[in-house]
Chain A
Amino acid sequence: MESTASECESFYHEKGKYKGILSWLMSTDHKRIGIQYLVALLTFFSVGVMLGLLIRLSLIAPGTFIGQETYNRVFSVHGIIMIFLFIIPGVPVAFGNFFLPIMIGARDVAFPRLNRFTWWTYLAGATLVALSLFAAGGAPDTGWTFYAPYSIRAKANITLAVTGVFVLGFSSILTGINFVTTIHRLRAPGMTWFKLPLFVWTLYATGWVQLLATPVLAITLVFIILGRVFGVGFFDPSKGGDPILYEHLFWTYSHPAVYIMVLPAMGIISEVIPVFARKKIFGYKAVALSAIGIASVGYFVWGHHMFTSGMSDTARIIFSFITFLVAVPSGIKIFNWVSTLYKGSIVGSAPIYFALTFIFLFSIGGLTGLIIGSLEPNLQLHGTYFIVAHFHYVMFGGAGFAILTALHYWFPKMFGRMYPERPAKIGWFILFIGFNVLYFSMFILGYEGMPRRYFDYPARYFPLHLVSTIGSWILAAGLAIIAGNLLRALFKGPKAPADPWGGRTLEWTIPSPPPAENFVETPVIRD
């Protein structure tokens, strides 16, 4: 045991073996690893946003800014970066790493060195993906889904990109193993399962999905690499292979991956809403168990990505049916959040603005999901902008806004500074307007038949494309204000107290920012 004084010092001042940048890269402290992940994620997010803006810009005047092939590469790389480098690792690696051990009253995760290793593998995977963008051969142009057989024949740097994604998947699996073991083994005395904060519950469910889904992606990517390098033609019809089987394997991972992105996001919302509604969460057990429900049902609905791929009718009907089942636990969550807000004395701080927006946007994303989850409308809408709008409402409106919620909610705890409320709310307002202008017009575009991924289109779609692009500029302005506000607060903000919001979970019982080992004494949880 060291002296109490040094234990109370924030983890930013921790004196380890290494100095400078190495004191971060070599650190096994879950908080340092979480902060590093956060920086990397937000960096990749900005790159992804730039690429997204470029896509929108190209679409108001096709051919003026970038050529057709570049366009294909830009939307593929936008997808690869946003999905594999930002939103899938997203909440768990940044906020999960930082807060999971604190919330269950532990000093670190179960395997701190493994945790550091996942961070390194993440960096390695990201480097490979980045190399694939610039190496000779050109950036991937397959879309983020790497559909075979094109991905096996394409001339672009698919092998490099796919290897990068494989390595990122490895990192994700190890994070899942680490979190599940941590939650099983390191809960503080008295922290029984049904006293766990809801964010921890969702991380637990997410951990299982990471464990059980990501290996399927890994083997699928190995098949692509083997196909490209050794000519093994598992998905090549001329060699007896079945390309639809690639889609089965790919979506067996990539649909559960949606829940890797959204479940912990829901966990954040479940933390924020009760704190700012000044009430206990309504139906704690239902919310906790619905996370497990979503995770398990979500594993068996991948086929709804393939209704127009030439699957059998039997399979289409089965998958459509199971897809409706997954709406039930999601609905439970939404209703419980709204019931928590009912008759609460809601405090109008910035985090609750983002959290409420999450509920609104995610509901739109989820309900349009029911439309395209049923077979008939899906056949009409699948290849159109309707899908693009739908998954941006779920991914950005859901997971993205949850990350913004978490940033505003936990910013004082992570960095020990407060940010000014007003600019945060102005940024939120502009972002909210921009978001809906950008993506809601895509619903209409898709409904009118505008196919997705197209470089050019008939003139009658132009007005809505223009509206959408203008929306993208508004959205970017909103993001810039939010980012500027938080960055400024990072250096100039007033010192944050231990519990600025009146939160009840364990992270608010320790100083901001937390000391190196989190707790001086292991907390004991009583009723």
Chain B
Amino acid sequence: MALNATEGGDHIGSYRTYFFIWAALMLLLVATIVVAKVEVSKYSVLLNLFIATVKAGLVLFFFMHLKYENWFLKGVLFMVLVMLASVIGLTFSDVWYR
């Protein structure tokens, strides 16, 4: 049952990958400002939250090495996010219908 010792933490991210991820993050930062300023549609807030999620995903998967972790951490992270979303959702079942 003991987990394989060569997983996750032994991964050494290459400087190049990190640099590309950083460049992508910067581009997304510019994109999110443009979306906000141009006001393409009433969905720009949602679009910006989507861009934020992509940025967060890049940080999580590459900077934080989540890509190289086992199912356990990925699964629990997913569970935590679902949980938080459900708590907010259940609260809104009150706020919206009050």
Contact = CB atoms under 8 A, between A and B. Distances in A.
A173 to B, nearest CB: 14
A248 B1 contact: no
Interface of B is mostly: helix
Nearest to A193: B1
B15 interface: no
B90 A315 contact: yes
Contacts of A319: 90
Nearest to B76: A208
A312 B1 contact: no
Interface in A301-352: 303, 310-315, 318-319
A300 interface: yes
B49 interface: no
B4 interface: no
Interface string A239-266: 0001011001000100000000000000
B91 interface: yes
Contacts of A303: 90, 94
A245 to B, nearest CB: 8
Contact of B86 (A187, A242, A300, A313): A300
A6 interface: no
B1 A318 contact: no
A192 interface: yes
Given A187-B1, A212-B80, A318 B86 contact: no
A302 B50 CA distance: 30
A265 B80 CA distance: 25
A318 B80 contact: no
B71 interface: no
A386 interface: no
A492 to B, nearest CB: 45
Contacts of A248: 91, 94
A292 B98 CA distance: 33
B97 interface: yes
Given A187-B1, A193-B1, A212-B83, A312 B90 contact: no
A29 B87 CA distance: 38
A307 to B, nearest CB: 11
A192 B1 contact: yes
Nearest to A192: B1
B86 A312 contact: no
A189 B2 CA distance: 8
A391 interface: no
Nearest to A310: B98
A315 B87 contact: no
A318 B98 contact: no
Contact of A311 (B1, B72, B98): B98
A315 B94 contact: yes
B19 interface: no
B83 A315 contact: no
Contact of A313 (B2, B91, B97): B97
Contacts of A311: 94, 98
8 contacts: A184-B72, A192-B1, A216-B87, A248-B94, A310-B98, A312-B96, A315-B97, A318-B93
What 4 pairs across the A-B complex have the smallest Cβ distances?
A: A315-B94, A312-B97, A314-B97, A312-B98
Interface of A: 184, 187, 189, 192-193, 212, 216, 242, 244-245, 248, 252, 299-300, 303, 310-315, 318-319
Given A248-B94, A314-B94, 5 more contacts: A184-B72, A212-B83, A216-B87, A315-B90, A315-B93
